[in-house]
Amino acid sequence: MEFDLAHGEAVLERTPRVLRALLADLAPAWIDATEGPETWSPSVIAGHLIHAERADWIPRARIILAQGASRRFTPFDRLAQFRESQGKTLAELLEEFARLRAESLETLGGWRLSESQLALEGEHPAFGAVTLRQLLATWVAHDLGHVAQIARVMAKQYREAVGPWRAYLPILDR
């Protein structure tokens, strides 16, 4: 499927509601659960999405749209949330994410991007030339990947509890 701006925005605007529906008011046993050492809990993932909203999608899109002398993106800090989420409850993180996402979508919509703008390029620190269209498609797929991850982390908490049904639930061993 080709990237379509309206289709992409429809997913992006849903993500804060999806996270709320999945996580709001759940017990710590769920929201702080992980898949083992060095893996992320639903709370950590919410913090990561907040950092991406601040440091990744819109800032990188601005670099591409400006077409300045340097179009190289600042490397993204995948661990920023361990610092930035300190002292915040999940309810606060979900609210912060919803607010930042709404702002991002307002900015994105305000640009009224043309096909030729979507084809403009920036420079990714690891793999070089990327287009604005690819960046926006990645934003959508990244949201969905983390929704799937949250559901998987939660499901895995019952890996033993399901007994022999484990054989029918591939998500428990992914």
Interaction site with a second copy (CB under 8 A): 1-4, 6-7, 10-11, 14, 17-18, 20-22, 25-27, 29-30, 33, 124, 127-128, 130-131, 133-135, 137-138, 140-142, 144-145, 147-149, 151-152, 154-155, 157-159, 161-165, 167-172, 174
Q: Which is nearer to a second copy, 88 or 142 (CB)?
A: 142
The least distance separating a second copy from the CB of residue 103, rounded to whole angstroms, comes to: 20
**Residue 45 is encoded by which pair of tokens?**
């993932």
Rounded to 5 degrees, φ, ψ at 161 are: -65, -25
The least distance separating a second copy from the CB of residue 34, rounded to whole angstroms, comes to: 11
Find residue 122's DSSP bridge partners.
Answer: 130
Distance, CA of 17 to CA of 12 (rounded, Å)? 10
Q: Which is nearer to a second copy, 27 or 69 (CB)?
A: 27
The least distance separating a second copy from the CB of residue 43, rounded to whole angstroms, comes to: 16
62-87 as b/e: b if 16+ CB within 10 A? ebbeeeeeebebeebeeebbeebbee
Q: Which is nearer to a second copy, 23 or 44 (CB)?
A: 23
The least distance separating a second copy from the CB of residue 67, rounded to whole angstroms, comes to: 18
The least distance separating a second copy from the CB of residue 60, rounded to whole angstroms, comes to: 11
Q: Which is nearer to a second copy, 54 or 142 (CB)?
A: 142
Q: Which is nearer to a second copy, 90 or 154 (CB)?
A: 154
The neighbour count for residue 51, using CB atoms within 10 Å, is 21
